[in-house]
C-alpha cells in the first residue's frame, strides 16, 4: 500500500475544502492535498446550474458550475494537489487517513486534517413515508445531476416536498428538464427562505403552495402516479409522476463517526470549538458538514478563517 505525508490533507473538494486549500497555500503552507470522491472537483455547485453563487465571497453573481470552476482553477493555480475519484474511507490513526481510488489503497498522514465533506438532503428512505418504491423520486441534488450532468428523462409533472431555499432551485431545474411543478408542500406553517422568493417563484412558475401539509403516502407501483397529502385533518391526492424531496439536511459525517468524535444531537454534526477544531485533535471541519445549512459563499469565507488558524498553528 502506498503511504505519503502532507502538511494539510482536506477531505472534500467543494467550495469549503477548496477555499481552505487556497488560503493555506496563500499563508505559505507547502503541501496541501485535497481528495474528492467524485470524478470532478467543485462539490454541489458543479451541478447547480442556476445563478446565485459567489455574492459574498467573490462579489460576483455566478452560476454554480462557473463558481465551482473558479475555485478549482484558483486551487490548481495556487499549487494545491487535487486527487479526484478518491474516497477517504477510514482512519489509520488520528493523523492518518485511509484512501481508496482507481490507483489502489493509500494512507496519508498530515499535520492537520480538514473534514469538508458537506451535507446532503434526506431522501425518501430516511423520511419514512408509506407506499411502494416507484421510479420518479429524487432529491434536488440527484435531480440536478440527472438533469444537468446526465441529461436523463425526468418526468412530466412534479410535487416538491419542502420549502427551503433549495426547494425553489428544484423548481428551476424541473423547468429546465421540461417538468411542470404542480405543487410545493411543506409541513411547517411557512416557507424557510428569503421573504420575496416564494411570491416571485409562484408568479413565474405557477404552482400551488401548501403549507402545514404532510405527505402521507406515495402512490404508484412502477412509476409515481401521485401523492396522498393531509392538510387540516383532510386527506386528498395530488396527481404527479415525479416527487422531489428537498432540504431537511443531514451532514456527511461518516468519517467523524468512525473516529468516535462527539456528534451534536440536533444537527448530527461533529462538535467543534471556535476554531472549527475537533477538541484535543489536529482535525478541523469547514463548510456544511457543520449544520445549519449555509450558502456556498458563507462556507468559503468561514473556511478561509479556519485555514488561517491552522496555518498559524503549523508554522
Ligand X SMILES: Cc1cc2nc3c(=O)[nH]c(=O)nc-3n(C[C@H](O)[C@H](O)[C@H](O)COP(=O)(O)OP(=O)(O)OC[C@H]3O[C@@H](n4cnc5c(N)ncnc54)[C@H](O)[C@@H]3O)c2cc1C
The position carrying cell 499549487 is 79
- Selected from 6, 10, 80, 118, the binder of ligand X by CB under 6 A is 118
* Residues with Cβ within 8 Å of residue 35, at least 6 apart in sequence: 9, 10, 11, 12, 13, 83, 86, 87, 88, 99, 108
Give the one residue of 144, 147, 219, 269 binding ligand X; rule: CB under 6 A: 144
Q: Under rule CB under 6 A, how many of the chain's residues touch ligand X?
A: 36
Given 6, 22, 44, 186, the residue binding ligand X (CB under 6 A):
44
Rounded to the nearest whole angstrom, what is the least distance from the CB of residue 70 to ligand X in the complex?
13
Q: Candidates 24, 113, 160, 169: give the one binding ligand X (CB under 6 A).
A: 169
CB 120 within 8 A of CB 139: yes
- Interface region with ligand X, contact rule CB under 6 A, candidates 185-193, 221-229, 232-240, 288-296: 288-296
d(CA 102, CA 86): 8
Binders in 58-87 for ligand X, by CB under 6 A: 87
Measuring CA to CA, which residue among 245, 295, 232 is closest to residue 14?
A: 295
Among 287, 302, 306, 307, interactor with ligand X by CB under 6 A: 287
Residues 148-167 that bind ligand X (CB under 6 A): 166
Rank residues 38 and 217 by Cβ distance to ligand X and give the closer one.
38
Residue 28's Cα: distance from chain center in Å?
29
Residue ranges in 98-117 that form contacts with ligand X under rule CB under 6 A: 116-117
Establish if 288 lies at the interface with ligand X (CB under 6 A): yes
Residue 231 Cβ vs ligand X, minimum distance, rounded to whole Å? 26
Surface-to-core class of residue 221, CB atoms within 10 Å of its CB (0-12 exposed, 13-18 middle, 19+ buried): exposed
Pick the binder of ligand X from 180, 228, 294, 305 (CB under 6 A). Answer: 294
Are 157 and 182 in contact, with CB atoms under 8 Å apart? yes
User: CB of residue 11 vs ligand X: minimum separation in angstroms?
Assistant: 5
Report the distance separating Cα 90 and Cα 256, nearest Å: 9
Among 52, 136, 162, 270, binds ligand X (CB under 6 A): 52
Q: Give the residue with the Cβ less far from ligand X, 87 or 273.
A: 87
- Which residue of 296, 306, 307, 310 would you call a contact of ligand X, by CB under 6 A? 296
Closest to ligand X by CB, 144 or 181: 144
Binders of ligand X in range 191-220 (CB under 6 A): none
CA–CA distances in Å: residue 22 to residues 28, 75, 308: 10, 5, 10
Q: From the centroid of its chain, how far is CA 117?
A: 8
Considering only 73-81, 197-205, 217-225, 291-299, which stretch makes contact with ligand X by CB under 6 A? Answer: 291-299
By CB under 6 A, residue 38 contacts ligand X? yes
d(C-alpha 108, C-alpha 33), whole Å:
10
Q: What is the Cα–Cα distance from 226 to 39, expressed in whole angstroms? A: 35
**Cβ-based nearer residue to ligand X, 52 or 270:** 52
* CA–CA gap between residue 181 and residue 116 (Å, rounded): 33
Cis check: omega of the bond before 280, within 30 degrees of 0: no
Residues that bind ligand X (CB under 6 A): 11-17, 35-38, 43-45, 48, 52-53, 87-88, 116-118, 140-141, 144, 166, 169, 252, 255, 287-288, 294-297, 299
Amino acid at each position: 500500500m502506498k503511504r505519503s505525508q502532507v502538511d494539510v490533507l482536506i477531505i472534500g473538494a467543494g467550495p469549503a475544502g477548496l477555499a481552505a486549500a487556497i488560503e493555506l497555500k496563500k499563508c505559505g503552507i507547502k503541501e496541501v492535498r485535497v481528495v474528492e470522491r467524485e470524478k470532478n472537483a467543485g462539490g454541489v455547485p458543479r451541478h447547480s446550474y442556476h445563478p446565485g453563487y459567489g455574492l459574498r465571497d467573490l462579489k460576483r453573481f455566478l452560476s454554480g458550475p462557473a463558481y465551482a470552476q473558479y475555485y478549482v482553477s484558483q486551487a490548481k493555480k495556487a499549487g494545491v494537489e487535487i486527487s479526484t475519484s478518491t474516497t477517504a474511507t477510514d482512519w489509520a490513526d488520528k493523523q492518518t487517513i485511509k484512501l481508496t481510488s482507481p490507483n489502489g489503497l493509500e494512507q496519508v498522514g498530515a499535520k492537520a486534517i480538514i473534514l469538508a465533506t458537506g451535507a446532503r438532503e434526506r431522501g425518501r428512505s430516511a423520511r419514512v413515508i408509506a407506499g411502494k418504491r416507484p421510479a420518479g423520486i429524487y432529491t434536488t441534488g440527484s435531480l440536478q445531476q440527472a438533469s444537468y450532468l446526465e441529461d436523463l428523462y425526468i418526468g412530466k409533472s412534479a410535487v416538491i416536498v419542502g420549502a427551503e431555499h433549495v426547494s425553489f432551485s428544484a423548481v428551476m431545474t424541473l423547468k429546465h428538464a421540461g417538468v411542470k411543478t404542480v405543487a410545493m408542500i411543506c409541513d411547517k406553517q411557512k416557507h424557510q427562505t428569503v421573504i420575496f422568493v416564494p411570491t416571485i417563484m409562484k408568479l413565474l412558475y405557477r404552482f400551488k403552495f401548501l403549507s402545514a401539509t404532510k405527505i402521507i403516502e406515495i402512490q404508484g407501483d412502477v412509476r409515481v402516479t401521485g401523492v396522498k397529502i393531509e392538510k387540516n385533518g383532510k386527506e386528498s391526492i395530488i396527481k404527479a409522476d415525479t416527487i422531489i424531496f428537498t432540504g431537511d439536511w443531514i451532514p456527511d459525517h461518516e468519517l467523524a463517526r468512525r473516529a468516535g468524535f462527539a456528534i451534536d444531537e440536533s444537527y448530527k454534526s461533529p462538535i467543534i470549538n471556535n476554531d472549527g477544531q475537533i477538541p484535543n485533535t489536529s482535525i478541523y471541519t469547514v463548510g456544511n458538514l457543520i449544520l445549519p445549512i449555509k450558502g456556498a459563499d458563507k462556507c468559503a469565507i468561514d473556511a478561509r478563517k479556519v485555514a488561517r488558524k491552522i496555518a498559524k498553528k503549523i508554522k
